[in-house]
Every structure is written in C-alpha cells, then in structure tokens.
C-alpha cells in the first residue's frame, strides 16, 4: 500500500518523536520558512544558564541562511546545532543556545533571530526575548544589614569617677614606679584579635571607599576578595589567599562543615570578583554593594563566637 506525502510526513513526525526531540509543529507551516523560539528560564541569577531553543522549518527546495548570534558583552554563549529531520514535505533543524548572563541585576535582551532564503522567496524571524537577572540575595536583601562596629562604644558616664580618683592613682603610680625601677618589667602580651573582627573592620573600610574609576573598582574587588580569603584561612585553616577559585572550592569539600554549608554563596562571590579581575567586567554600584554584602554576611554567619553559641545551645 502506498502512502501519500501527507501520510508519510505524519509517519516521520511520529518516528522523530520516538527517537529525538518533539517537533514544535503539529501541522505543516503556512509559509516556506518558519522559525520558532523557546526560552527557559526567563529569570535567572548571574552566570546561571538560559536555554534558547530555535526550531527552523524549510520547505523542500528552499535553501535558508540561518546563523544565530548573541552579544558576547551580555552573555557567554555555547551553540549546539542539530541534524536536519524530514517534516511535512520539508526539513526541520533545531539549534540550542546556552546563554550565561554576565551583567546584572537588571534586564538583558536576547536579539531577534532571522532566517532568510538564499533566493529571496521568504524569511522568518522571532522577536527579542527579555531575560531578567536577579541578585544572588534576591528576596533576602531587606533582611541583610551592614554589620555594626566590631566593638560597642564604651560607656562614657564614668569620667567623673576617673577625675575623682586621678590624684590617688597618680600617687600610687609614682610609688610603684620607684619600687619597680630595678625590677625586670614583664613583657606585654598582645591580645589576639578574632578573625571575624579583623575581617569586618576591613570590610567597613572598603564599604566607604571610592568606586568611581576603573582602577578603584578593580582595587575594591581585589581587596574584598583578599579579606574574605584571609578570613577563611584564619577561621577554617583553608589555604585560600594563594589559590585559584577552582582550587579553593575543591579544598573546601574536605574542610569544615560550616564552611561547606556556604559553598554556593562563596562560589558566587568569588566568581563575581573573578569577572572583574580577569574578564574586564564593569559592574554597577548595586553589584558592588551586593558583593560587599555577600562577604559581610558570610563572615557574620560563620564567626567563631556564634558557632560556639549554637553548639552549646544544641548540646
């Protein structure tokens, strides 16, 4: 029994569905060239991939030109081309783009994609697609505040007591110095400053630093990254300052569980710093504050005194 062209096309569609991706057409397109697009997801975080699926149909005998391109300033793009599949008396080809946004937060546009026949008999296009890039702290920004001063301001109401005993202290001090003149003076012991206090002090200074020129922006990200890396070394004994982001993340897997619990935040923070230091990425002031808040929040969440308090409460 012979099958007509329409019946044969239906059989080929069913076969393609069983052995590969499903065609986006359920009937033959009305034009010689047809183009469809699907974008998933349309809202992502920085460096998270967006999958753009482009399906091109061309009628038999039509030779189409189609070379999708995306601006490399906004996205890092990987393009995977599919094979031609017979469909409805023509061919169908699927092209997949994996686009990772390099700027944010805010809105980025994927361009309009166009396919043209070489002989000018037809063309097809799809409109621009809007991608919303959200901050890594989306939904929690309101709950995050800049940490306060590492040490609270001492109570200043005791000045009158100090004034009242100043004379007595002077007399006693003079006598003590005379008696101790020939006694070896013991060495003063330096008070160890906890890692989180040093890190928060440095971050407070960087928060107020100028970030108007390219050099100042690069210096800000280098210093913020170095502050967090030194903190990780002193707090968790991780060799962070001299290692690349990939080497450090691998070492993190065998380290302290509290640090591993924050691996995702650390990876996003270090990736943002690397984009500025090595990829000539110029972030906005909002990006600066987001990166700073990531570092400060991580230090606050993993500081040793809070971890000890949690452990004692659980015990």
Taking only the tens place, the pLDDT of each residue in 165-215 is 777 777 777 777 777 765 655 555 667 899 999 999 999 999 999 988 988
Neighbours of 58 (CB within 10 A): 25
123 and 243 share one domain: no
Domain tally for the chain?
Answer: 2
* Residue 153 belongs to some domain of the structure: no
Residue 265 domain-assigned (yes or no): yes
Question: CA 96, CA 109: separation in Å to the nearest integer?
Answer: 17
Residue 179 falls inside a structural domain: no
CA–CA distance, 288 with 211 (Å, rounded to integer): 9
Identify whether residues 218 and 113 lie together within a single domain: no
Q: Does 28 fall in a domain?
A: yes
Q: Cα dist. 115→7, 36, 53, 55, 57 in Å?
A: 28, 11, 14, 11, 10
Contacts of 228 (CB under 8 A, 6+ apart): 199, 240, 266, 269, 295, 298, 299
Confirm if 269 and 301 have CB atoms less than 8 A apart.
Answer: no
Last residue of a domain, one of 107, 134, 161: 134
- Say whether pLDDT at 160 is over 90: no
pLDDT value at residue 129: 92
- Residues forming beta bridges with residue 117, ordered by sequence position: 64
Give the other-Cβ count within 10 Å of 32's Cβ: 18
Domain termination site, one of 134, 156, 176:
134
Average pLDDT, the chain: 79
Residue 227 in domain: yes
**Which run of H or of E encompasses 279?**
none
Choose the final residue of a domain: 134, 162, 177.
134
**Cα 227 to Cα 230: distance, rounded to the nearest angstrom:** 5
Q: pLDDT digits over 74-118, tens only? A: 888 989 988 889 988 889 999 999 999 888 788 989 999 999 988
Identify the CATH number of the domain in which residue 72 sits.
2.60.40.10
Query: Among residues of the chain, what percentage have pLDDT more than 70?
Result: 77
| Single pTM value for the model | 0.42
Element (H, E) at 56: strand 50-59
Same domain as 116, residue 214: no
Same domain? 201 vs 307 = yes
Residue 229 domain boundaries: 193-314
pLDDT at residue 243, as a whole number: 75
Could you tell me if 233 and 121 lie in one domain?
A: no
- The answer on 203 and 304 residing in a single domain is yes
Q: Are residues 16 and 97 in the same domain?
A: yes
207 and 125, same structural domain? no
Query: What's the pLDDT tens digit per position in 266-282?
Result: 888 888 888 887 877 88
φ, ψ dihedrals at 191, nearest 5°: -85, 120
11 shares its domain with 102: yes
Asked if residue 62 belongs to a domain, the reply is yes
Shared domain for 16 and 86, answered yes or no, is yes
């Amino acid at each position: 029994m012979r099958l007509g062209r329409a019946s044969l096309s239906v059989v080929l569609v069913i076969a393609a569905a069983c052995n590969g991706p499903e065609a986006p057409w359920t009937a033959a397109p009305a034009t010689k060239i047809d183009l469809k697009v699907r974008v998933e997801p349309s809202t992502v975080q920085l460096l998270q991939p967006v999958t753009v699926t482009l399906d091109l149909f061309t009628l038999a005998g039509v030779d189409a030109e189609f070379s999708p391109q995306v601006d490399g300033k906004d996205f890092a793009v990987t393009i995977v081309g599919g094979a031609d599949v017979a469909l409805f008396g023509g061919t169908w080809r699927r092209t997949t783009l994996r686009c990772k946004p390099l700027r944010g937060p805010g809105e980025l546009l994927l361009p309009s994609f166009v396919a043209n026949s070489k002989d000018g008999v037809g063309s097809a296009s799809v409109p621009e697609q809007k991608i919303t890039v959200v901050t890594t702290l989306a939904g929690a920004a309101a709950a995050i505040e800049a940490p306060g001063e590492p040490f609270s301001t001492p109570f200043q109401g005791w000045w009158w007591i100090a004034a009242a005993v100043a004379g007595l202290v002077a007399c006693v001090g003079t006598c003590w110095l005379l008696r101790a003149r020939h006694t070896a003076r013991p060495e003063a012991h330096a008070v160890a400053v906890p890692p989180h206090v040093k890190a928060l002090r440095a971050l407070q200074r960087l928060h107020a630093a100028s970030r108007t020129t390219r050099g100042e922006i690069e210096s800000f990200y280098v210093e913020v990254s170095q502050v967090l890396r030194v903190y990780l070394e002193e707090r968790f004994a991780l060799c962070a300052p001299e290692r690349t982001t990939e080497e450090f993340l691998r070492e993190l897997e065998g380290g302290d569980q509290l640090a591993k619990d924050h691996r995702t935040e650390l990876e996003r923070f270090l990736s943002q710093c690397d984009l500025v230091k090595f990829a000539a990425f110029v972030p906005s002031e909002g990006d600066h504050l987001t990166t700073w808040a990531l570092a400060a929040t991580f230090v606050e969440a993993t500081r040793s005194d809070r971890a000890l308090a949690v452990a004692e409460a659980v015990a």
